[in-house]
Structure 1
């Protein structure tokens, strides 16, 4: 649900929204805000949320001149302070664009995510400190602080949630880690409740990564080379995500969660992340069409969103009706000698490293901008 009349929306994204999928955009830039592009996507493509990451901000800062004036104003400021000022300003502005959605949905959607410095992924104390600062600096109720689902991140997620800060848990690849994420969120809510914090404004999403799983597993299946292995290509990521939703349903039905829900707690919705296909041989809407069920978020790069708006299909629930198929796929993956747990462990490590690299690129771009706009 958004504040917009559904007759103004693209019929395909409207169908996705009607099926219970919250459509979010995986992109943000100063130019997108200034041009009105974000507002148009809200009005015309059912967009009800925004996610960002260091890669997105690095790209935004390196293109065009939208940041030149602010970089000039920040000349003489150290680069990390300048980058935090720039990114929090963008997130605050996006949150203001989406505030009507937040109000219309009772705080469920209309959210914008900003990520803690990924170099802190294995430092819980520093992550908590940074999350507090970002939450206070942006100063909007409709944001999420993104924290990676590392072992140390789990501790930070619990502690931040206990303070009433809404969290987007990112870089989730395995079912085992996802269960631990749900536990950390619940533990944080229990601590918040014990401290007298009102749970109803606190929300969370758990970002379960999709396309990177197939991108890692498909070459392993090619190396195996049997017909059985080749048949599994392009199916592992979707199967993994479907079983994540099964775990979410099981947790949601538990006495523990029902007790929290009874005192105003909001569910930690699964969010399908990394939904742009990496293999050009796959349909460009694969990770949207095949992951439709009520109560999830799908955050899409604009290219994927445009593709879905053009030719995406909603053909009923493609998650809960296919748990059996998902279990079969993962069993067959093991049978051909591919270890999903080995792959997901590696993807988590690589994911942190990639975001650290992007953060370094963001800082370097900011440094160059500060120097050239003196």
Structure 2
């Protein structure tokens, strides 16, 4: 009996994982990559360390980190979980470690460890790689798939599309031609540009635990916040941008963000109490030069100035009006967002193949037998922290196993 032939479109994390698992029982697998490089996103992610996954071991804990695809992924993760990801890499000599925020990296702190493990397994499974093969169309005739590029065509029994996200809907044209519905792509992880805000002068300042909310919505997130030369960034902002991606897109990235500089302070009364305690203990100290709430000195100075506090004023002489303004700016500092900045290494899109057209138990198209999807090409995206890679491993695993009619994890 002839071996089954499987074409995998895309040499990223999902593509490699799908190809590896499709080839485990002897299928002939070929990865088609439109560029001259493979695993490029793996290489640069996490500052070159590769944030492989997140230590969210419970299904309910894991799936809440996906602004789009949460219900779909609940079914997928039952087939291949975070524990399975850890076991897969560690069984191939790549030990993983968990950082304080739950992100997981190779102990080597080098993404090459992950790349080596994937490439080694691909070689072991005799997977063929074809570079500079840009797919323009897929046709199914007589039970076979013809995968066409500008100058060539290849024939396969099954096809797994792992082409990743695309900033433009044209990038999904070859999938649309097959009859699939595409949710228009929009950016998901990005920083907030604040071109008119003086806070930009404090670039490099950060706080470990801020609470940020988008005015007019229930969208809010807490976490580290970083001030940059174009605005505000850091995990709190990136996560908020992911959950608010559609809303911000519709607002053309014009919005007000409310920042509470210390997320542990739940009310203005908490701030008033702490300020009064300090004023009573140190009435003759200058307000401007004695930062509170563990804020960086320059940030505290800026907030004080914005509140009308004069340079030489001491706590016992601080006017009530400026005291309450200080409280307001500590609890709800408003910045006007005008635009976004997307980092290539963090680039994630919301949008792609609509999930109701894909079977989450197999990753097979509900429209075309023998066609499978994995990774960001679908309308799935996670917040920063290893969640997008976990979705890639899990959907890639399931698509690969299903394409070769293997449904158990061994």
Length-normalised TM-score, structure 1: 0.23
Larger Cα Rg: Structure 1 or Structure 2? 2
Choose between structure 1 and 2: higher strand proportion.
Answer: 2
Length-normalised TM-score, structure 2: 0.21
